[in-house]
């Protein structure tokens, strides 16, 4: 008869078992190849699938951020958007059934709602939980002071609400997003959500503020974001349009001031500049380390990340002791 510890781990790592309530959600997630042996002890490591460098870096960042910021005491958790966040959900799932049974998860959009539901985690919304323990989200670029550009997936309105509502807001990203000045690697512009009928007026406002028009050599310029497999503009989860507005480095050096100026334009719903909000940013590196930049300016380097989160066995022993 397998031990309860074994059953817990099996459920935690399963992608398809009918019996497991919590499932891995990342499309890149492959169940561990190492067979699980029934035992009274939870294994301390499992084989994780080998991923391309950038994906591996995202996974490292996500796993480290969850390990450091999502504890057993955290019950209301915000889940961001993008391609890094599925690894956040995988790591939370790997904390086990006990850790997750009394938690509620709030999404920043359609994608993260699906992630939460598919993982078998409890879905809530920010109108039920105005105070969130911790929100973890991706970013398109992060500067020296942990200001970030977000909205590459057009989710910046809900992302900012869940960031502001959180006691702790943490960024997870791969090494390509780690910058000194915003606009260095993310050159397509600041994503700005606007009410549809005002978009042309806001485009004119932004142009007067110094956002350049696209030039024929393919350089990105001020534009309404268009759908890829759809005729017409991208429509956000809130029914709005997205403008991408690049600005010259002299304006990007002071993102807080730029944010306030753009936000004051009538018709703008939210701006994809997140200033002075992050507690820490986790960047997975190509060499398998994680660089952690904290709000206080400190920089830490994590050299190894366990394949199984330590909290999984803590959660179980807490239940056994109770």
Q: Tell me: does residue 137 bind ligand 5RP (CB under 6 A).
A: yes
Q: Out of 43, 78, 82, 189, name the contact with ligand 5RP by CB under 6 A.
A: 82
d(CA 298, CA 33): 38
Please return the burial class of 287, using the count of CB atoms within 10 Å of its CB with bins 0-12, 13-18 and 19+.
exposed
- Say how many Å lie between the first and final Cα of the chain, rounded: 23
- Site membership for ligand 5RP, residue 240 (CB under 6 A): no
- Judged by CB under 6 A, which stretch of 64-72, 112-120, 131-139, 213-221 contacts ligand 5RP? 131-139
Angle at Cα 77 formed by Cα 134 and Cα 284, nearest 5°? 60
List, edge to edge, every strand of the sheet that includes 273-274.
Answer: 141-142, 148-149, 273-274
Q: Among residue numbers 169 through 228, which ones bind ligand 5RP (CB under 6 A)?
A: none
Of 81, 147, 211, 223, the one binding ligand 5RP (CB under 6 A) is: 81
Residues that contact ligand 5RP, how many (by CB under 6 A)? 17
> Does position 156 bind ligand 5RP by CB under 6 A?
yes
Q: Using CB under 6 A, which of 139, 206, 269, 305 touches ligand 5RP? A: 139
Read off the tokens for 116.
């939460």
Judge whether 249 and 255 are in contact, CB under 8 Å.
Answer: no
159 is catalytic: yes
Query: Is the distance from CB of 242 to CB of 268 less than 8 angstroms?
Result: no
Tokens coding 182: 């915003």
Q: Is 155 in the site for ligand 5RP (CB under 6 A)?
A: yes
Residue tagged active-site, from 159, 193, 270, 316: 159
Three-class DSSP category at 294: strand
**Binding of residue 153 to ligand 5RP (CB under 6 A):** yes
Does 151 bind ligand 5RP (CB under 6 A)? Our answer is yes
Q: Which stretch binds ligand 5RP (CB under 6 A): 44-52, 137-145, 213-221, 281-289?
A: 137-145
- Residue with smaller CB distance to ligand 5RP, 97 or 268: 268
Q: Is 154 in the site for ligand 5RP (CB under 6 A)?
A: yes
Of 67 and 137, which has the nearer Cβ to ligand 5RP?
137
Q: With binding defined as CB under 6 A, does residue 55 bind ligand 5RP?
A: no
Do the beta carbons of residue 282 and residue 219 sit within 8 Å? no
Burial classification of residue 214, based on how many CB atoms lie within 10 Å of its CB (0-12 exposed, 13-18 middle, 19 or more buried): middle
CB of 295: closest distance to ligand 5RP in angstroms? 19
Contact 193, 217 (CB under 8 A): no
Out of 140, 143, 193, 244, point to the residue binding ligand 5RP (CB under 6 A): 140
E strands within the chain?
A: 76-79, 104-107, 132-137, 141-142, 148-149, 166-174, 190-194, 223-224, 241-245, 268-271, 273-274, 280-284, 290-294, 299-302
Alpha helices by DSSP H, 42-103: 53-69, 85-94, 97-100
Interface region with ligand 5RP, contact rule CB under 6 A, candidates 88-96, 151-159, 239-247, 255-263: 151-159
Nearer to ligand 5RP, 109 or 267 (CB): 109
**Which one, 23 or 58, has the nearer CB to ligand 5RP?**
58
- The contact set with ligand 5RP (CB under 6 A) reads 80-84, 137-140, 150-156, 159
Which residues have a catalytic role annotated? 159
């Amino acid at each position: 008869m397998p031990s309860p510890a074994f059953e817990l781990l099996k459920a935690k790592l399963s992608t398809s078992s009918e019996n497991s309530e919590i499932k891995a959600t990342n499309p890149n997630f492959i169940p561990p190849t190492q067979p699980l042996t029934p035992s009274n002890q939870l294994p301390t490591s499992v084989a994780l699938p080998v991923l391309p460098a950038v994906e591996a870096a995202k996974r490292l960042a996500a796993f480290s951020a969850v390990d450091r910021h999502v504890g057993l005491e955290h019950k209301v958790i915000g889940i961001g958007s993008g391609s890094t966040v599925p690894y956040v959900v995988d790591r939370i799932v790997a904390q086990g059934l006990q850790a997750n049974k009394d938690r509620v998860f709030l999404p920043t959009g359609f994608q993260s709602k699906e992630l939460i539901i598919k993982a078998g985690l409890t879905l809530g919304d920010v109108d039920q939980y105005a105070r969130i323990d911790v929100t973890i989200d991706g970013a398109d670029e992060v500067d020296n002071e942990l200001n970030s550009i977000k909205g590459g997936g057009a989710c910046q309105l809900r992302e900012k609400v869940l960031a502001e509502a959180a006691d702790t807001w943490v960024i997870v990203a791969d090494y390509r997003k780690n910058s000194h000045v915003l606009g260095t690697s993310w050159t397509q512009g600041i994503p700005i959500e606007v009410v549809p009928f005002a978009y042309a007026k806001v485009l004119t406002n932004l142009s007067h503020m110094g956002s350049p028009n696209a030039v024929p050599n393919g350089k990105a310029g001020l534009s309404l974001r268009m759908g890829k497999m759809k005729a017409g503009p991208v429509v956000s989860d809130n029914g709005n349009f997205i403008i991408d507005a690049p600005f010259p480095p002299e304006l990007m050096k002071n993102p807080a001031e730029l944010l306030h100026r753009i936000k004051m334009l009538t018709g703008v719903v939210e701006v994809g500049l997140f200033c002075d909000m992050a507690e820490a940013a986790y960047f997975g590196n190509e060499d398998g380390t994680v660089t952690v930049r904290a709000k206080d300016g400190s920089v830490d380097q994590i050299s190894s990340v366990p394949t199984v989160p330590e909290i999984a066995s803590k959660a179980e022993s807490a239940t056994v002791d109770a």
